[in-house]
């Protein structure tokens, strides 16, 4: 997770740069159920409205929760599928809260209504993230359900009315990027606490539909918008969180923004970004799927580290003999191609390995979705030599030079 607002605050009100913080245990994103009332075109869990057999029972979830606590996991993000379809979701959530976890609910929002909002508020979630992937028809088409946008926006309003910290989660593609300004306008209209821009990852249906990924230039413009907005809100004393995920080039890109806009603070920002270190799959981020399989993050369901029915999460996570995890733990990671030579490797960590893997079968190849040009990352090769993005052939995407952003 790349916390734009936090870095912007450090640029506006500089404080001394502290040492790198090492979280006690990984954040666990837990897909408690795979069933979903939607079938989104990008869904990494390939969820659908069917019963997926063999999911963890309530008791099994509690046993795992105890182990996670003992392993000092600080945060549980309860996800799915649609987590509100799990009959025990409130009990599971309350237990997690009672044990002292920071508990987030990751939901499509369509099932949050007047009938259950009190129950949701009662849990005391630290954060509820509701996905909105465009306005009206764009969102409904993306999520393949007419009326989904209205239902999800209604859920946002209900959460606000009940004092729940709520955020919009938006997955950027070439098909919905034009509506980003309108989605950001909703932040003002409903005083929404957080905006999370998720870059498309190549997993599940998101991999099958990877040709819809945003052009590099589109991604840059989206980030420009978030940076300007966060900066201007902070200047007005408005504190809202803008964060991104799944493309760690966002760090160096912010550094470039600071070089132009707050040059006196660039050295401090560089240090902060290096302390952050970029991609943390398999280190500070982990995933347990609906069957109890453990993965380095949510986008690696094709790679299983072990199952919590057979071994403790702590044992699975700490296994020193797993090849992929060994790579994740290395500093720097054993990335290849332009990532290996990049001047920003320390702050981006080599970006998102699953995209490289899906395109090349090599988890350590360069990430094709890095939208920084070779010139920007400090290498001499021509950009034409880069790994191609999987854009639709009928677009001119490959013809847009990534350096032509100004
Ligand atoms: C799998 S969903 C589960 C929770 C809930 N059903 C929802 O849609 O919010 C969790 C989040 O992951 C996002 N997501 C799903 N597939 C993705 C992909 N391939 N790349 C990036 N984000 C993805 C969704 O948009 C959603 O915000
Ligand atoms: S992204 Fe969420 S709402 Fe969409 S199909 Fe997947 S689990 Fe369901």
Instruction: Tell me the per-residue pLDDT of 86-99, one tens digit each, with 9 for 90 and over.
Output: 999 999 999 999 99
Q: Ligand 1, atom 3: nearest CA belongs to which residue?
A: 80
Residue 402 has pLDDT above 50, yes or no: no
Q: Ligand 2, atom 6: nearest CA belongs to which residue?
A: 43
Residue 59 has pLDDT above 90, yes or no: yes
Residue 275 has pLDDT above 90, yes or no: yes
Tell how far the Cα of 331 is from the centroid of ligand 1, in angstroms: 29
Q: How much of the chain exceeds pLDDT 70, in percent?
A: 96
Element of type H or E holding 183: helix 180-189
Residue 21 has pLDDT above 90, yes or no: no
Q: Is 43 in the pocket of ligand 1 (CB under 6 A)?
A: yes
Query: Per this entry, what is the length of the chain?
Result: 406
Name the closest ligand to CA 140: 2
Q: How much of the chain exceeds pLDDT 90, in percent?
A: 94
Query: What's the average model confidence in pLDDT over 29-34?
Result: 98
Q: Is 203 in the pocket of ligand 1 (CB under 6 A)?
A: yes
Distance between CA 153 and CA 157 in Å, rounded?
6
Residue 394 has pLDDT above 80, yes or no: no
Distance between CA 205 and CA 288 in Å, rounded?
19
Q: What is the pLDDT of residue 306?
A: 98
Q: What is the pLDDT of residue 396?
A: 44
pLDDT band at residue 340, thresholds of 50, 70 and 90? very high
pLDDT tens digits along 191-225: 999 999 999 999 999 999 999 999 999 999 999 99
Query: What's the average model confidence in pLDDT over 227-247?
Result: 97
pLDDT band at residue 130, thresholds of 50, 70 and 90? very high
Tell how far the Cα of 44 is from the centroid of ligand 1, in angstroms: 7
Tell how far the Cα of 20 is from the centroid of ligand 2, in angstroms: 34
Tell how far the Cα of 124 is from the centroid of ligand 1, in angstroms: 22
Residue 263 has pLDDT above 50, yes or no: yes
Name the closest ligand to CA 84: 1
pLDDT band at residue 393, thresholds of 50, 70 and 90? low
By CB atoms closer than 10 A (0-12, 13-18, 19+), residue 159 is buried
Q: What is the pLDDT of residue 336?
A: 97
Q: Work out the end-to-end distance of the chain between its first and last CA atoms, rounded to an integer number of angstroms.
A: 26
Residue 404 has pLDDT above 60, yes or no: no
Tell how far the Cα of 229 is from the centroid of ligand 1, in angstroms: 24
pLDDT band at residue 352, thresholds of 50, 70 and 90? very high
Name the closest ligand to CA 301: 1
Mark 112-146 as b/e (b = at least 16 C-beta within 10 Å). beeeebeebbebebbbbbbbbbbbeebbbbbbebe
Instruction: List pocket residues of ligand 2, CB cut-off 6 Å.
Output: 36, 38-40, 43, 45, 47, 80-82, 108, 143
Q: Is 80 in the pocket of ligand 1 (CB under 6 A)?
A: yes
Q: What is the pLDDT of residue 96?
A: 99
Backbone dihedral angles phi then psi of residue 377, each to the nearest 5 degrees: -85, 0
The model carries a pTM of 0.95
pLDDT band at residue 382, thresholds of 50, 70 and 90? confident
Tell how far the Cα of 383 is from the centroid of ligand 1, in angstroms: 31
Element of type H or E holding 172: strand 166-172
Show Cβ contacts of residue 15 under 8 Å, excluding neighbours closer than 6 positions: none
Mean residue pLDDT of the chain comes to: 95
């Amino acid at each position: 997770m790349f916390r734009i607002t936090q870095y912007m605050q450090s640029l506006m009100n500089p404080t001394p740069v502290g040492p790198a913080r090492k979280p006690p245990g990984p954040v666990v994103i837990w897909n408690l159920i795979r069933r979903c009332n939607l079938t989104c075109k990008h869904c990494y869990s390939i969820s659908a409205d069917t019963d997926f057999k063999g999911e963890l029972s309530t008791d099994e979830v509690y046993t795992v929760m105890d182990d996670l606590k003992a392993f000092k996991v600080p945060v549980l993000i309860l996800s799915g599928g649609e987590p509100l379809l799990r009959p025990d979701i409130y009990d599971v959530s309350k237990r997690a809260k009672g044990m002292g976890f920071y508990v987030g609910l990751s939901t499509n929002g369509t099932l949050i209504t007047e009938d259950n909002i009190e129950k949701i508020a009662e849990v005391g979630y630290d954060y509820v993230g509701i996905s909105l992937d465009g306005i009206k028809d764009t969102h409904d088409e993306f999520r393949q359900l007419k009326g989904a946008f209205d239902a999800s926006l209604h859920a946002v309003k209900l959460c606000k009315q009940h004092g729940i910290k709520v955020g919009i989660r938006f997955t950027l593609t070439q098909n919905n990027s034009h509506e980003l300004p309108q989605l950001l306008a909703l932040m003002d209209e409903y005083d929404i606490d957080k905006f999370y821009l998720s870059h498309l990852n190549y997993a599940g249906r998101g991999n099958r539909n990877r040709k819809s990924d945003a052009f590099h230039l589109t991604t840059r413009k989206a980030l420009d918008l978030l940076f300007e907005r966060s900066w201007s809100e902070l200047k007005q004393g408005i504190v809202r969180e803008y964060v991104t995920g799944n493309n760690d080039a966002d760090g160096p890109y912010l550094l470039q923004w600071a070089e132009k806009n707050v040059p006196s603070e660039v050295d401090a920002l560089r240090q902060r970004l290096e302390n952050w270190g970029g991609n943390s799959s398999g280190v500070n981020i982990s995933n347990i799927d609906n069957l109890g399989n453990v993965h380095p993050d949510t986008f690696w369901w094709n790679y299983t580290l072990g199952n919590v029915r057979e071994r403790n999460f702590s044992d699975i996570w700490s296994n020193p003999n797993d090849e992929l995890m060994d790579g994740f733990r290395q500093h720097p990671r054993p990335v290849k191609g332009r990532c290996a030579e990049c001047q920003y490797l320390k702050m981006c960590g080599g970006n998102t390995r699953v995209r490289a893997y899906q395109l090349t079968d090599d988890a350590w190849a360069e990430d094709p979705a890095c939208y920084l040009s070779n010139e920007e990352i400090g290498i001499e090769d021509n950009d034409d030599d880069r790994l191609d993005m999987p854009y639709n052939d009928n677009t001119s995407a490959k013809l847009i030079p990534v350096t032509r952003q100004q």
